[in-house]
Chains A and B, each alone.
Chain A
Amino acid sequence: MTDLTALTLDDARKGLAEKKFTAVELAKAHLDAMEAARPLNAYVLETPEKALEMAAASDARRAKGELGRLEGIPLGIKDLFATEGTRTTASSKILGNFIPKYESTVTSQLFRDGAVMLGKLNNDEFAMGSSNETSAFGPVVNPFKPANWDNGKAKAALSGDKKGLLVPGGSSGGSSAAVAANLCLGATATDTGGSIRQPAAFTGTVGIKPTYGRCSRWGIVAFASSLDQAGPIAKTVKDCAALMTSMAGYDPKDSTSVDLAVPDFEAAVGKSIAGKTIGIPKEYRVEGMPAEIEALWKKGADMLRAAGAKIVDVSLPHTKYALPAYYIVAPAEASSNLARYDGVRYGVRVPGKDIADLYEKTRAAGFGREVKRRIMIGTYVLSAGYYDAYYLRAQKIRTLIKKDFEDAYASGVDAILTPATPSAAFGIAEMADADPVQMYLNDVFTVTVNMAGLPGLALPGGTDASGLPLGLQLIGRPFDEETLFSLGAVIEDQVGRVTTSRWW
């Protein structure tokens, strides 16, 4: 039998429908692959019993002719999504052995449509990071090897300190690595400043951050509530569209979720893009950007032009202020959201001489360094005397960033094409001694989209000279993810998939 883990989600659906294999066989193949890939550290918890039980239930439904959109499809779930009865940690020590008594809306919709959970995926602690190195469970290894490394050298590093191996991006690094390494057919992810799109770009996978409000945030561990959105990472544009169709939708339990009909996003894949106008923002041509990224960007525009799109230059003048404004807004919201981790209601507790001492010791022991720093920055920018200078100013700049996009769309642009990241994947521990801003610069092309609440799709645009994936990003109008899927499919048709083969 062919390797079932090498299939795309869409192919697996066809195979299941044609009875070539069962959901149980499909789940088993993935569970075996996960076991063999443990050194990559993509999963923080494998749930084989639950997976086989859900797969058997799916096979039983299929026998009765009850078929959901994702019937029998095995998925990995980012450990930021609360899963009923299954440990959920946000990859932080502070949540300890937290077992939710409820299911997040997004995962409940995936399971409603027949999906099978394989386990919980690693991520940066509380989704704060761009390399998955802030996880309390340790870093995830990118299934793409560094340039010119043979399998033996990579394997040796994998069983050692992992230095030199590549990061899978973050914060959804477990999701991107698991999809690229064929450890699931798709994964849930979240994106606050680029946490779906940057990891997708680093691993040759496809990820979409939907419009703010498209997916319910209920049951997802909160980082920055005005920026967080859930979305899928998958092997292809069509797979991504299938997952998104299931994940999206109005939820009365999240007052920011939008009551709009959810289209069948899969139907947008393969639609003609003739006559669409694509904007190329000149402000994304940043200093020090590698020539390879510049060339990739141009190639992406050429592909869309060849398919009948019109390419125009646009200006988004406040682009350079998005990242600094983000590093005020996101920590401010995080400092508020993470106040709940106090050692009283759930998670880890370190005893203290009084309640304040208990809080301080618990939070000192439970949070990692990146999280502590962001909480402290957020506390500072919200504190008396600094609120206007920092937070209020950042929120005004956010209005200007959003207006830049509104002006571009009002001028007739349907979508905007940019590189997804300023570089290919870098090495584990490579940024350890750099100041935090160097790591933050990874999100320079993605963070604008969160600040404006827009949808953004990242997909492979090709590879660099050493064969590492490079990503392109398509930014859409609010709630027009369909155009992004149509455009993405055109690029995917011409680029093909960027895949790695097993060496771990």
Chain B
Amino acid sequence: MSVDAATVRRIARLSRIALPEADVGGMQNEINAILGFVEQLSEVNVDGVEPMTSVTPMALKMREDIVTDGEKADLVTANAPQSEDNYFLVPKVVE
């Protein structure tokens, strides 16, 4: 399988990465080189094989349903590029 330029633009959009038109061709070639490389996976018979969902089989630990952290909004927003009164500032999203 390979991708065309329109698909590369669509993936960039889905990835929320602005891709200048001049970079589309180069990115397309690189992505196609990788898709060409992974193509060989189609020769493996995976009938009846379960996908790996857990690297080390183990049950998730349960803990008491209590608050263990919080009340540190100032620390949470300390690295924000723009914040005010411990809120993150973003452009208007609701008209």
Chain A residues within CB distance 8 Å of chain B:
96, 98-99, 101, 211-213, 226-227, 252, 255-256, 258-259, 318, 320-321, 323-325, 327-328, 335, 339, 342-349, 351-356, 358-361, 363-364, 367, 372-373, 375-377, 379-380, 383, 389-390, 392-400, 402, 435-437, 440, 453, 478
Cβ contact within 8 Å between A358 and B91: yes
Q: Which applies to chain A's interface (DSSP): helix, strand, loop or mixed?
A: helix
Cβ contact within 8 Å between A437 and B50: no
Q: A364-B17, A372-B15 are in contact. List 12 more A-B contacts (CB 8 A).
A: A212-B56, A324-B41, A344-B80, A347-B81, A355-B90, A363-B18, A380-B11, A380-B31, A397-B46, A398-B52, A399-B51, A436-B33
Also in contact, A363 and B41, with CB within 8 A (given A99-B79, A373-B30, A398-B52) = no
Q: What chain A residues lie within 8 Å of B42 (beta carbons)?
A: 393
With the chains together, A345 CA to B88 CA distance in Å? 7
Which listed residue, B37, B61, B77, touches A437 by the CB 8 Å rule? B37
Nearest chain A CB to B53 CB, angstrom units? 7
B22: interface (CB < 8 Å): no
Q: Mark B23-59, 1 if CB is under 8 A from A, else 0.
A: 0000101110111011111101010011111011010
With the chains together, A353 CA to B79 CA distance in Å? 22
Nearest chain A CB to B9 CB, angstrom units? 10
With both beta carbons as reference points, the residue of chain B lying nearest to A358 in the complex is identified as B91
Cβ contact within 8 Å between B90 and A344: yes
Cβ contact within 8 Å between A379 and B15: yes
Cβ contact within 8 Å between B34 and A364: no
Q: What chain A residues lie within 8 Å of B17 (beta carbons)?
A: 360, 363-364, 367, 372, 375-376
Chain B residues within CB distance 8 Å of chain A:
1, 3, 7-8, 11-19, 27, 29-31, 33-35, 37-42, 44, 46, 49-53, 55-56, 58, 60-61, 63, 72, 75-82, 88, 90-93
Cβ contact within 8 Å between B51 and A398: yes
With both beta carbons as reference points, the residue of chain B lying nearest to A100 in the complex is identified as B79
Also in contact, A395 and B53, with CB within 8 A (given A348-B81, A354-B91, A373-B27) = yes
Nearest chain A CB to B24 CB, angstrom units? 11
With both beta carbons as reference points, the residue of chain A lying nearest to B78 in the complex is identified as A101
Cβ contact within 8 Å between B52 and A321: no
Q: What chain A residues lie within 8 Å of B91 (beta carbons)?
A: 351-355, 358
Nearest chain B CB to A348 CB, angstrom units? 7
With the chains together, A117 CA to B33 CA distance in Å? 41
Cβ contact within 8 Å between B88 and A344: yes
Nearest chain A CB to B8 CB, angstrom units? 8
Q: What chain B residues lie within 8 Å of A320 (beta carbons)?
A: 40
Q: What chain A residues lie within 8 Å of B80 (beta carbons)?
A: 344-346
Also in contact, A376 and B27, with CB within 8 A (given A213-B55, A390-B38, A400-B46) = yes
Cβ contact within 8 Å between A395 and B34: no
Cβ contact within 8 Å between A373 and B37: no
Which listed residue, B1, B34, B49, B90, touches A436 by the CB 8 Å rule? B34
Q: What chain B residues lie within 8 Å of A396 (beta carbons)?
A: 46, 49-52
Cβ contact within 8 Å between A383 and B14: yes
With both beta carbons as reference points, the residue of chain A lying nearest to B39 in the complex is identified as A324
Which listed residue, A360, A389, A478, touches B56 by the CB 8 Å rule? A478
With the chains together, A255 CA to B12 CA distance in Å? 32
With the chains together, A347 CA to B82 CA distance in Å? 10
With the chains together, A98 CA to B56 CA distance in Å? 32
Also in contact, A324 and B37, with CB within 8 A (given A212-B56, A356-B16) = yes
With the chains together, A252 CA to B63 CA distance in Å? 9
Cβ contact within 8 Å between B56 and A397: no
With the chains together, A252 CA to B29 CA distance in Å? 44
With the chains together, A372 CA to B27 CA distance in Å? 9
